[in-house]
Amino acid sequence: MDMRTEYLGLQLAHPIIASASPITASVDDIRRLEDAGAAAIVMPSLFEEQLRQEAMAMDRLMAAGEESFAEATSYFPPVADSHGGLDRYLETLRQASEAADIPIIGSLNGISAEGWVGYATGVESAGASAIELNVYYIPADLAESGQDVEQRYIDVVRAVKSSVSVPLAVKVGPYFSAFGHMARELVLAGADGLVLFNRFYQPDYDIDKLEIARTLELSAAGEIRPGLLWIALLYGRLGASLAATTGVEDYRQVVKYLMAGADVVMTTSSLLRQGAGFIGQLRDGLSHWLLERDYGQVDDVRGCMSLDRVPDASAYERANYIRILEEFELAATG
């Protein structure tokens, strides 16, 4: 079965990629995933704020109490060859790029245009085949308009694109008034591909402690719908690669995403649940399914359910929503 795929101009053996998560963090993990059959690997996101905070905290805590008492003008041995979080990340990336035969994609998560560029060039020079920008921003400021937010995204993409030469993917959430327009703007700003969709980690409450519970729930198959919708709508209309992420539990979701028009499908939750080896099962599952249905290559199925291709395109628009509701009501009352 020919499952060769092109993503961001990178040639992949098949369309299944291990997305950014703790299990892509070390060289050993990356090797394990490669052995298990991943077509490419996105390293965990380098968090701009985290790096900034880590540097500040390290400085503050190491310097606490310094130069204020005659007997102890410092409390730690001098750190000669300190590697901040960035250095550690880049070192892993460098080693992984050398060790692995598959593309390694560096990932950056941040909110400001300034912070990105330095990190992005570092990631590029450490050997990343591409960079994924994970723009994660909650516009909590009530004075900030949707336009402001969109501009922020666009500025970030422009700034990074102008500073690196490797391909650039942008991972975003679906919460835009007009996501299609936004997607186009991102591509115009320089994105070589879009990764749909980022899952925002929304808070939960611990009602006994009156605290915000920072728990992370793994994604479930039911969550693929927004991605399916928008990939199907954007397929063939952007001139950029499309990657699907979120909600992959088994090969069937992979198939669905491909049918919508995704170039590649990314997964984290299934690997966290089932282990690195599961990526091979996804690949094999896809391969069997294609074989069973006599598809010759993965491209044959790609985009077959996209807006352009389905006979009833209105299903992607409002009518679809109404129909689903009606069906739901019937089922409930019937």
Partner 1 sequence: MSEPRSVTIEGNEAAAYIAYRCSEICAIYPITPSTPMGEMADQWANQKTPNVWGHVPVITQMQSEGGVAGAFHGAVQSGGLTTTFTASQGLLLMIPNMYKIAGELTAAVFHVAARSLAAQGLSIFGDHQDVMAVRGTGFAMLCSSSPQEAHDLALVVHAATLESRVPFLHFFDGFRTSHEINRVELIPDETIRDLMPDDLVIAHRHRGLSPERPVIRGTSQNPDVYFQARETVNPYHQSVPSVVQGIMDRLAGSTGRPYRLFEYYGDPEAERVIVLMGSGAETARETLDRLTSEGEKVGVLQVRLFRPFSAAHFIDALPKTAKAIAVLDRTKEPGSAGEPLYQDVVTCLAEARAEAGGEAQSDPPRVVGGRYGLSSKEFTPAMIRAVFEELDRPAPLNHFTVGINDDIGHTSLPFDPEYVIESDETYRAIFFGLGADGTVGANKNSIKIIGEEPGIHAQGYFVYDSKKSGSQTISHLRFGPRPIRSTYLIQAANFIGCHQFSFVQTTDVLRDAAPGAVFLLNSHYRPDEVWDRLPGTVQQRIIDLGIRFHVIDAYGVARAAGLGRRINTVMQVAFFALSGVLPRDKAISRIKSAIEKSYRRKGDAIVEQNFAAVDTALAGLQAVEVPRQASRDDALSSAVPEAAPAFVQEVTATMIAGRGDELPVSALPADGTWPSGTSNWERRDLSPEIPVWRPDLCIQCGNCALVCPHSVIRARFYHESRLDDAPEGFRSAPLHGRGFPEIRYTLQVAVGHCTGCTLCVDACPARSPDEPNIRAINMEDKAPLLELERNNLEFFRTLPEADRGRVDFSTVRGVQHLTPLFEFPGACSGCGETPYLKLMSQLFGDRAAIANATGCSSIYGGNLPTTPWAKNEEGRGPAWSNSLFEDNSEFGFGFRLTADTQRKQAETLLLRLVDQIGPELVEELLEAPQDEESEILLQRDRVAELRTRLEKLDSPDARHLESVAEQLVRRSIWIVGGDGWAYDIGYGGLDHVLSLGRNINILVLDTEVYSNTGGQVSKATPLAAVAKFAAGGKPTPKKDLAMQAIAYGNVYVARVAMGANPQQTLLAFREAERYPGPSLILAYSHCIAHGIDMRFGMRQQKLAVTSGHWPLMRYNPVLRNEGRNPFMLDSQRPRASLKDYAEREIRYRVLASTNPQNAERLMALAQEDIVVRWGVYEEMATRGDAAFHFAGAAKEARRDA
Site for partner 1 in 13-52 (CB under 8 A): 51-52
CA distances 187 to 106, 157, 242, 260, Å, are 19, 9, 11, 19
Minimum Å gap between C-beta 219 and partner 1 is 26
DSSP strand pairing (211-213 vs 204-206): antiparallel
Minimum Å gap between C-beta 155 and partner 1 is 18
By CB under 8 A, tell whether 291 contacts partner 1.
no
Site for partner 1 in 220-279 (CB under 8 A): none
Site for partner 1 in 98-117 (CB under 8 A): 115
By CB under 8 A, tell whether 215 contacts partner 1.
no
Dist. CA 166–CA 241, nearest whole Å: 14
Of the listed pieces 87-95, 137-145, 155-163, 288-296, which binds partner 1 according to CB under 8 A? Answer: 87-95
Minimum Å gap between C-beta 126 and partner 1 is 15
Of the listed pieces 68-76, 270-278, 279-287, 305-313, which binds partner 1 according to CB under 8 A? Answer: 68-76
Dist. CA 270–CA 261, nearest whole Å: 21
Q: Is the peptide bond before 197 cis (omega within 30 degrees of 0)?
A: yes
Whether residue 42 contacts residue 105, with contact meaning beta carbons closer than 8 Å, is answered with yes
By CB under 8 A, tell whether 66 contacts partner 1.
yes
CB atoms within 10 A of CB 185: 17
**Among residues 71, 141, 208, 294, the one that binds partner 1 under rule CB under 8 A:** 71
Give the DSSP H or E segment for 169.
strand 168-172
- Tell the residue number behind the tokens 């990190």, with chain if given: 119
CA distances 142 to 113, 150, 154, 178, Å, are 21, 15, 20, 19
Contacts with 230 (C-beta within 8 Å, 6 or more apart), sequence order:
174, 179, 180, 183, 196, 197
By CB under 8 A, tell whether 203 contacts partner 1.
no
Q: Which is nearer to partner 1, 88 or 288 (CB)?
A: 88
Listed residue (153, 146, 142) closest to 116, CA to CA: 153
- Tell the residue number behind the tokens 């994105």, with chain if given: 191
By CB under 8 A, tell whether 73 contacts partner 1.
yes
Minimum Å gap between C-beta 115 and partner 1 is 8
By CB under 8 A, tell whether 158 contacts partner 1.
no
Give the DSSP H or E segment for 189.
helix 179-189
**Among residues 81, 141, 292, 312, the one that binds partner 1 under rule CB under 8 A:** 81
Q: Which is nearer to partner 1, 209 or 318 (CB)?
A: 209
Q: Which is nearer to partner 1, 87 or 148 (CB)?
A: 87
Q: Which is nearer to partner 1, 119 or 257 (CB)?
A: 119
Minimum Å gap between C-beta 62 and partner 1 is 6
Q: Which is nearer to partner 1, 119 or 278 (CB)?
A: 119
Residues near partner 1 (CB under 8 A): 51-52, 54-84, 86-88, 91, 115, 118, 210-211
